[in-house]
A and B are shown apart, each in its own frame.
Chain A
């Protein structure tokens, strides 16, 4: 009985879930704090409680949420909010390209769901384990993935709700909308991990500062273009200098 295929499949599933849960557990503290900060930031940047709840439940993307807050507060046009949301989430496009082989034989709605619930953490935990795996897309791999994204979702959503509740209790005079800027900085500073990246960020920062009087916060787009060009230019000139 114990060697029936059904039984071994169950045992394998159990093992995959266990491995996934153990892997994601240490990361949940960070997820929790981050959700809490984002929850507070949303209501303190002027969203109503309902709007903040809708945003966390539907958007489920902390960086894009935090990025959109100052834009919404200053009444930037919707297309610019959309563009900014896309740009700060571009890393997920790379993740999606890398994860796609593991889910390609599933029906489209399952692929859509696996994509939607992908987090930085799930990607970082998955790829070192299964990046070179053959075949790609085994039930074991998908069960592992699922058991890293499910606790992440639960932790993020419950801490965001807690943050939204706390945010409504704290008076506006505490200026906690500044905490949203600090949270964005905490996301951004670790990105400056190479000299070309630092050049790109400096160029983007200067452009964004000079371009402030542009209407509709178009300085944001200008800064992105200048940042990309500066980054690629710096990459090339550092390579040349090393030769």
Chain B
């Protein structure tokens, strides 16, 4: 690849990284820097408790069950099956790595059979 100015999508990725760095500082160092001038009431704390789990779930669900091209029906494929097996493995073993490796294994096997 010849050396050239960054491609538009490279600027996009760079921008995303820069903003995520700002996220890291804002969340981890806000109180370190500004002390308790930022109020953190009980109501806010309670709302904050649910937000991360909700956001993570909302990232995962469309990745596992994307809409089919006709709309409003899920594309059921090896991903959702592998994910369900992975959840089962995690419940049994409480082991992150076993879950990821087991999930990938099921995914590969199913793809080899049906894919």
Contact = CB atoms under 8 A, between A and B. Distances in A.
A185 B83 contact: yes
Interface in A46-63: 47-48, 51, 54-55, 58-61, 63
A178 B55 contact: no
B112 to A, nearest CB: 12
Interface in A170-198: 174-176, 178-179, 181-189, 191-192, 196-197
A103 interface: yes
Which DSSP category, helix, strand, loop or mixed, fits chain B's interface? helix
Contacts of B59: 67, 70-71, 84, 184, 208, 220
Interface string A196-238: 1100110111011100110000011001101110111001000
Interface in A27-74: 30, 33-34, 37, 47-48, 51, 54-55, 58-61, 63-65, 67-68, 70-72
B54 A231 contact: yes
Contact of B32 (A114, A179, A191): A114
A39 B46 CA distance: 33
Interface residues of B, number: 65
A181 B67 contact: no
A226 B55 CA distance: 10
A96 B31 contact: yes
B109 interface: no
Contacts of A208: 57-59, 61-62
B60 A97 contact: no
Contacts of B12: 72, 75, 78
Contacts of A232: 46-47, 50
**A-B residue pairs, 9 tightest by C-beta:** A227-B54, A115-B29, A223-B58, A231-B50, A208-B58, A204-B54, A85-B23, A115-B32, A96-B31
18 contacts: A58-B21, A59-B23, A67-B55, A78-B16, A93-B30, A94-B40, A96-B32, A104-B35, A108-B33, A112-B33, A115-B30, A115-B31, A115-B33, A116-B25, A175-B111, A204-B55, A209-B65, A224-B55
Interface of B: 10, 12-17, 19-33, 35-36, 40, 45-67, 71, 74, 79, 82-83, 86-87, 90, 96-97, 99-100, 103-104, 107-108, 111
Given A96-B29, A100-B32, 13 more contacts: A48-B13, A54-B14, A61-B24, A91-B27, A115-B28, A186-B99, A188-B56, A200-B50, A201-B54, A205-B60, A205-B61, A208-B61, A232-B47
